[in-house]
Amino acid sequence: MSGKGDCYDNAVMESFFGTLKNEWVHHQQYQSRYQARSDIFKYIEGFYNTVRLHSSLGYMSPNEFEAKYHDNP
Protein backbone atom coordinates (compact mmCIF):
# COMPACT_ATOMS: atom_id res chain seq x y z
CA MET A 1 0.00 0.00 0.00
CA SER A 2 1.33 3.43 -0.83
CA GLY A 3 1.83 6.12 1.76
CA LYS A 4 -0.06 9.31 2.45
CA GLY A 5 0.31 11.83 -0.34
CA ASP A 6 1.55 9.25 -2.84
CA CYS A 7 0.04 9.97 -6.25
CA TYR A 8 -0.16 6.25 -7.09
CA ASP A 9 -2.63 5.75 -4.24
CA ASN A 10 -5.41 7.25 -6.34
CA ALA A 11 -4.11 7.06 -9.91
CA VAL A 12 -7.43 6.18 -11.53
CA MET A 13 -9.24 9.17 -10.04
CA GLU A 14 -6.31 11.48 -10.77
CA SER A 15 -6.54 10.40 -14.42
CA PHE A 16 -10.31 10.92 -14.50
CA PHE A 17 -10.12 14.41 -12.99
CA GLY A 18 -7.32 15.34 -15.41
CA THR A 19 -9.47 14.23 -18.33
CA LEU A 20 -12.51 16.07 -16.96
CA LYS A 21 -10.55 19.30 -16.60
CA ASN A 22 -8.83 19.07 -20.00
CA GLU A 23 -11.88 18.02 -22.00
CA TRP A 24 -14.56 20.08 -20.29
CA VAL A 25 -14.00 22.32 -17.27
CA HIS A 26 -11.19 24.47 -18.70
CA HIS A 27 -13.43 25.33 -21.67
CA GLN A 28 -16.37 26.56 -19.57
CA GLN A 29 -17.11 29.64 -17.48
CA TYR A 30 -19.45 29.12 -14.56
CA GLN A 31 -21.42 31.84 -12.78
CA SER A 32 -22.08 29.76 -9.67
CA ARG A 33 -21.03 26.59 -7.93
CA TYR A 34 -24.49 25.14 -8.62
CA GLN A 35 -24.09 25.78 -12.35
CA ALA A 36 -20.68 24.08 -12.33
CA ARG A 37 -21.98 21.04 -10.44
CA SER A 38 -24.96 20.69 -12.76
CA ASP A 39 -22.90 21.04 -15.93
CA ILE A 40 -20.20 18.62 -14.76
CA PHE A 41 -22.88 16.08 -13.79
CA LYS A 42 -24.38 16.35 -17.29
CA TYR A 43 -20.92 15.86 -18.84
CA ILE A 44 -20.21 12.76 -16.74
CA GLU A 45 -23.62 11.10 -17.04
CA GLY A 46 -24.48 12.27 -20.56
CA PHE A 47 -21.13 11.88 -22.29
CA TYR A 48 -18.26 10.38 -20.28
CA ASN A 49 -20.17 7.37 -18.95
CA THR A 50 -22.12 6.73 -22.13
CA VAL A 51 -20.58 7.81 -25.44
CA ARG A 52 -16.95 8.84 -24.85
CA LEU A 53 -14.45 6.30 -26.19
CA HIS A 54 -12.36 4.65 -23.46
CA SER A 55 -8.99 3.04 -24.15
CA SER A 56 -9.61 0.52 -21.37
CA LEU A 57 -12.66 -0.71 -23.31
CA GLY A 58 -10.79 -1.14 -26.58
CA TYR A 59 -11.71 2.37 -27.74
CA MET A 60 -15.42 1.68 -27.50
CA SER A 61 -17.97 3.74 -25.66
CA PRO A 62 -19.40 2.25 -22.47
CA ASN A 63 -22.75 1.86 -24.28
CA GLU A 64 -21.12 -0.06 -27.14
CA PHE A 65 -19.12 -2.21 -24.75
CA GLU A 66 -22.20 -3.10 -22.71
CA ALA A 67 -24.24 -3.94 -25.82
CA LYS A 68 -21.44 -6.13 -27.15
CA TYR A 69 -21.16 -7.88 -23.78
CA HIS A 70 -24.88 -8.66 -23.68
CA ASP A 71 -24.87 -9.89 -27.30
CA ASN A 72 -22.01 -12.34 -26.58
CA PRO A 73 -22.34 -13.66 -23.03
Tens-digit pLDDT profile for residues 37-46? 999 999 999 9
Q: pLDDT tens digit string along 12-35?
A: 888 999 999 999 999 999 999 999
Sign of torsion over alpha carbons 39, 42, 44, 37: positive
What is the C-alpha to C-alpha distance for residues 52 and 47, in angstroms, rounded to an integer? 6
Sign of torsion over alpha carbons 36, 37, 40, 41: negative
Q: What is the pTM of this model?
A: 0.74
pLDDT at site 7: 62
What is the C-alpha to C-alpha distance for residues 24 and 56, in angstroms, rounded to an integer? 20
